[in-house]
């Protein structure tokens, strides 16, 4: 039902299994969220796998390279991913109510009319919108 929540579940499961990467089906929204997570330092990188092996019709696969803070993979850069807005209950926040996550140590992902932004960017641009998720 909710492809973004499925992506977050896949990431959390891969972190629990101490995997180096996880593959998820693609969408533009997921690509923008992954670019934001990469820019904020929660994942190493992500890439599109568009060869025939990873393609299903017009949809391709996104490979997310996870980031760990130690060589034994005991601590991940992502402590938790929480989906805030769901298909059954959309959560919107005006610019003055965009949430702070862990006193600035985490990031709220907000979908605005200017695109998908972090809570810091949304406040600086004076934009409110749908709070998709929080990450710390």
Q: Please report which confidence band the pLDDT of residue 72 belongs to, taking 50, 70 and 90 as the band edges.
A: very high
Predicted local confidence at residue 118, as pLDDT: 97
d(CA 35, CA 37): 5
Q: Domains, the chain, ranges and CATH? A: 3-66 (3.30.1370.30), 81-135 (3.30.1490.10)
Query: What pLDDT, on the 0 to 100 scale, is given for residue 74?
Result: 93
CA gap 21, 11 in Å, rounded: 9
Asked if 61 and 25 touch (Cβ cutoff 8 Å), the reply is yes
| pLDDT surpassing 90 at residue 36 | yes
Write down the pLDDT at residue 90.
96
Q: What is the mean pLDDT of residues 21-39?
A: 97
pLDDT digits (tens, 9 = 90+) for 47-64: 999 888 888 888 899 999
> In Å, how far from its chain's centre is CA 132?
9
C-alpha 136/C-alpha 127 separation (Å) is: 22
Is-contact 24 30, C-beta < 8 A?
yes
With 90 as the cut, is the pLDDT of residue 4 above it? yes
First to last CA, the chain: 24
Percent of the chain exceeding pLDDT 90 equals 91
Q: What is the mean pLDDT of residues 104-120?
A: 96
The confidence score (pLDDT) of residue 52 equals 84
Q: What is the dihedral sign for C-alpha 27, 33, 38, 42?
A: negative
pLDDT for 92: 97
């Amino acid at each position: 039902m909710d492809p973004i929540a499925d992506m977050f579940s896949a990431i959390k499961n891969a972190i629990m299994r101490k995997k180096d990467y996880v593959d998820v089906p693609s969408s533009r929204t997921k690509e923008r969220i992954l670019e934001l997570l990469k820019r904020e330092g929660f994942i190493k990188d992500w890439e599109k796998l568009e060869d025939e092996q990873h393609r299903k019709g017009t949809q391709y696969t996104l490979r997310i390279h996870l980031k760990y803070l130690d060589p034994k993979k005991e601590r991940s850069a992502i402590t938790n991913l929480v989906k805030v807005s769901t298909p059954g209950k959309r959560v919107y926040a005006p610019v003055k109510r965009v949430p702070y996550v862990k006193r600035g140590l985490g990031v709220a992902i907000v979908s605005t009319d200017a695109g998908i932004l972090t809570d810091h960017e949304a406040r600086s641009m004076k934009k409110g919108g749908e709070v998709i998720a929080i990450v710390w």
